[in-house]
Every structure is written in structure tokens, then in C-alpha cells.
Amino acid sequence: MESQNKLPDTAQRVADLLKALGHDQPIVMLPATGKTSAEAAAGLGCSVAEIAKSIVFRRLSDDAAVMVVASGANRVDEGKVAAFVGPLGKADARFVRERIGYAIGGVCPIGHVEKTVMLIDADLLKLDSVWAAAGHPHAVFSLTPQQLLAMTGAPAADVALRNDAGNFV
């Protein structure tokens, strides 16, 4: 793990924010990219479910950024998300960087440049701890699902895509 003073600028911004929030877990720099949940899990030696991935959409009614922090094991059901926040469109890399403040692959659930509509995957609440991106594709930090809820102020919601039998697809 690299020392805190060698973090990329965006990861250092997250480290400073976490410190201000009283969070005591360090940012971990993965040797390989954590752009996908599987890559991050492999680098951390944890399950894919323990990766709290940030998926960003664009709300059609007002062009607001909508972020879903989901378990890495789940696909997000856009219909379920839209039922909570309104019709959605795709958010491209430019939209994500401008509205959230991070590049895709390192999108942190906190420290956004604009107010973001957020939902937390209720399946994350079943876990003891999760890993979230820390502002850079190689940077992550550990926290509990309860800390994630508190830091973001976002509600937990059923956002996972499941088939008629209730199983993940």
C-alpha cells in the first residue's frame, strides 16, 4: 500500500474528505485497476459482492446525476431505479466527470461536485463491510454499509435485477 502523501490528486481529495468525516480506514492503492468489480475483488482478496460499485445515470426530467451504489455481484435494474427517481438516460464519461467529479472506474460515493440523487443497494446491508472507489481507478477504501448510508445520506433500496423467481440475472 502506498503512503497517503503519494495518492493521486482525486484519491487525496477523498482521503481528506474521509478524514474530515472521522473515517479511520486508509485508502488502498490496488496494484492493478479496480475498474470492474471483479478486478477490484481480485486485488483485495474479497468477494465481488463486497465491492460497492457506483453506477451513474442521467435523470431525464432535470438532467440531474443519479448514482446507485450497488453490490458488485448485482446488475442494476434501471426500471426499479426509475420508479424511485423518475425516467433515466445514460450518463457518458463526460457527464460523470462534470457532474460527479470523478472518472468512470474511480467514482466515489462521496465528494461530488454537484448534488447527486443517490440510492444504496439494499443487498449491501447484508454485508459486514464493503469496498468503495476512492476517486481513482486504483484507489479504494473500506467501510461498513451503515457508514455508507451515513456518509451519503442516501436511502437503501431494492435496485437489483432479478428474474420472476427472485433470483439474480
User: How do residues 33-44 score in pLDDT, each as one tens digit?
Assistant: 777 888 889 989
Task: Give me 163's grid cell.
Answer: 428474474
Name beta bridge partners: 89. Answer: 58
- Give this prediction's pTM: 0.91
Query: Both ends of the chain: CA-CA distance in Å?
Result: 35
The confidence band for 1, taking pLDDT boundaries of 50, 70 and 90, is very low
CATH fold label, 4-157:
YbaK protein (3.90.960)
pLDDT digits over 123-158, tens only?
999 999 999 999 999 999 999 999 999 999 999 999
- Maximal C-alpha separation, the chain: 50
Delimit the domains of the chain by residue range: 4-157
Q: In the predicted model, is pLDDT for residue 3 greater than 50? A: no
